[in-house]
C-alpha cells in the first residue's frame, strides 16, 4: 500500500518536473499587423528564442491588437497578464516624460541621429521600466514621419481645420499648434477612421500608410522626416526572473539580434514603403522650406516644454545626444 502510494507520488512528481522543465509559454501582444516591419521582426525573434532556448521558451505572437489594444499592452505586461509585449513608447508620454522624447518633432530626424538619441535615452528608459516591474529587451525606430493629407500644404498655416488623426499626446499637440482638430486613433482602427471620414489627415510613416492602405483615401504624402518614434519590446521582470539562466541568456541574445535586425529592416524598407504608396497612386512630396521651418519651430517649442517637464534627467539626455 505504502509502496504503491509513493510510486504514484513519484510519477506525478516526475511528470510535473519534466513538463515544468520542458517549456515555458509566454504571450506577446503587438498592436501592428503581419505586414508591419516590427511584426516581421517579431516573427523572427520568436523563432530565434525558440531555437536559442532549445525549445524551452515558446512565445505566441498576437498581432494587430488582437489580444490587447495598443494603449493596454504596457499595463498587461506590467501585470504579467502578458509576459512580454511590444509598445509604442510615445503613446505613454503622459505617464513619464522619458516616453515622449523620441516622439518630439525635429529633435532627431535620420536613422543615425535617432540611434544616438536612443543611446542617450536608454539608461533612463530602463530605469523607468524597472520601476514599473519591467525590463527593456530592445527597441526599433519606425521610418521617418511625414504628413498624409489631400490638401496642398505649403506652410503650417495650410493645416488649419484638418481632421487630424493623432496616435500619441505629441501628435495631438502638433495638431493643436497648427490649428487642426485631433482625434486619437491607433493604427488598428485607422483604416476605418479614414473610410468613415472621421479623419482626413495624419502624421506617421510610409509603413503605416502602407499597412492601412491610406492611398485609398489620402493622395499626398509630405515627406517631412520629422522624427522616428520607437517601438520597444518589454518583459515582465517576474516572468524573466522565473526563467533558468540559460533561457534568460537565450532571450537576451534573441533580443539583441532583433534590435540590430530591426533598425536595418526599418531603414531598408523606408524607401520601399514610399515606392508602394507611389505605385498605388499617392504623390510623394518634398516639403517646402516654409513648411519645414514652421514644423521646426513647433519642434523647438515642444522641446522647451519637454525640458521643463523632464528636469535634470531630460537635460542630461539632450546633452548626451548633442555631444559630438
Ligand atoms: N506608425 C505608428 C506610430 C508611428 C508610425 O510610424 C502609427 O501611425 O500608429
Q: At what angle do helices 245-279 and 111-131 cross, to 10 degrees?
A: 140
The answer to whether position 12 is within a domain reads no
Atom of ligand 1 minimally distant from the CA of 229: 4
> 22 pLDDT band (50/70/90 cuts)?
confident
Atom of ligand 1 minimally distant from the CA of 88: 3
In the numeric block, the cell 532556448 is attached to 53
Ligand 1 pocket member 37 (CB < 6 A)? no
pLDDT in tens, 48-84: 999 999 999 999 999 999 999 999 999 999 999 999 9
Q: Which amino acid residue places its CA nearest to atom 7 of ligand 1?
A: 187
pLDDT above 90 (res 307): yes
pLDDT for residue 21: 56
314 sits in which H/E element: helix 289-322
Q: Residue 89 in contact with residue 301, Cβ under 8 Å?
A: no
pLDDT in tens, 170-215: 999 999 999 999 999 999 999 999 999 999 999 999 999 999 999 9
Domain extent, residue 183, equals 24-322
Report the C-alpha gap between 61 and 66 in whole angstroms. 10
CA proximity to 229, closest of 313, 107, 126, 317: 107
CA proximity to 18, closest of 10, 8, 28: 10
Beta carbons within 8 Å of 50's beta carbon, 6+ residues apart? 57, 58, 59
pLDDT above 70 (res 18): no
The answer to whether position 83 is within a domain reads yes
The answer to whether position 7 is within a domain reads no
Q: How far is the CA of 128 from the centre of ligand 1 (A)?
A: 23
Ligand 1 pocket member 208 (CB < 6 A)? yes
3 state DSSP class of 202: strand
The answer to whether position 128 is within a domain reads yes
Report the C-alpha gap between 87 and 96 in whole angstroms. 14
If you average pLDDT over residues 85-107, what whole number do you get?
97
| Count of the separate structural domains present in the chain | 1
The answer to whether position 268 is within a domain reads yes
Q: Which of 205, 218, 225, 277 should be mutated for ligand 1, with most atoms under 8 A from CB?
A: 205
pTM over 0.85? The answer is yes
pLDDT in tens, 124-135: 999 999 999 999
Report the C-alpha gap between 149 and 175 in whole angstroms. 13
Report the C-alpha gap between 33 and 65 in whole angstroms. 8
Q: Which of 140, 229, 266 should be mutated for ligand 1, with most atoms under 8 A from CB?
A: 229
- The CATH number of the domain where 208 resides is what? 3.40.190.170
If you average pLDDT over residues 302-306, what whole number do you get?
98
pLDDT for residue 83: 98
Amino acid at each position: 500500500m505504502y509502496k504503491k502510494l509513493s510510486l504514484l507520488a513519484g510519477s506525478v512528481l516526475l511528470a510535473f518536473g519534466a513538463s515544468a522543465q520542458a517549456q515555458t509559454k509566454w504571450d506577446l501582444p503587438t498592436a501592428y499587423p503581419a505586414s508591419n516591419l516590427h511584426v516581421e521582426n517579431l516573427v523572427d525573434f520568436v523563432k530565434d528564442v525558440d531555437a536559442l532556448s532549445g525549445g524551452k521558451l515558446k512565445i505566441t505572437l498576437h498581432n494587430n491588437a488582437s489580444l490587447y489594444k495598443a494603449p493596454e499592452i504596457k499595463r498587461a505586461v506590467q501585470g504579467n497578464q502578458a509576459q512580454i509585449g511590444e509598445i509604442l513608447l510615445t503613446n505613454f508620454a503622459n505617464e513619464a516624460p522619458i516616453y515622449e522624447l523620441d516622439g518630439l518633432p525635429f529633435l532627431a530626424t535620420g536613422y543615425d541621429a535617432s540611434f544616438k538619441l536612443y543611446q542617450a535615452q536608454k539608461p533612463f528608459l530602463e530605469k523607468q521600466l524597472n520601476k514599473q516591474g519591467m525590463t527593456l529587451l530592445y527597441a526599433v525606430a519606425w521610418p521617418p514621419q511625414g504628413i498624409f493629407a489631400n490638401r496642398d500644404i505649403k506652410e503650417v498655416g495650410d493645416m488649419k481645420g484638418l481632421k487630424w488623426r493623432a496616435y500619441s499626446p505629441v501628435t495631438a499637440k502638433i495638431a493643436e499648434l497648427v490649428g487642426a482638430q485631433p482625434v486619437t486613433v491607433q493604427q488598428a482602427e485607422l483604416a476605418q477612421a479614414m473610410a468613415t471620414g472621421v479623419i482626413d489627415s495624419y502624421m506617421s510613416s510610409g509603413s503605416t500608410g502602407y499597412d492601412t492602405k491610406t492611398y485609398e483615401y489620402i493622395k499626398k504624402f509630405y515627406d517631412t522626416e520629422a522624427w522616428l518614434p520607437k517601438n520597444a519590446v518589454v518583459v515582465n521582470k517576474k516572468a524573466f526572473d522565473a526563467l533558468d539562466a540559460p533561457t534568460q541568456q537565450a532571450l537576451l541574445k534573441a533580443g539583441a539580434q532583433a534590435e540590430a535586425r530591426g533598425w536595418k529592416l526599418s531603414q531598408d524598407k523606408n524607401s520601399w514603403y514610399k515606392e508602394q504608396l507611389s505605385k498605388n497612386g499617392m504623390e510623394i512630396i518634398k516639403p517646402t522650406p516654409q513648411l519645414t521651418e514652421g514644423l521646426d519651430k513647433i519642434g523647438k517649442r515642444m522641446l522647451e516644454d519637454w525640458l521643463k517637464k523632464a528636469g535634470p534627467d531630460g537635460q542630461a539626455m539632450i546633452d548626451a545626444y548633442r555631444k559630438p
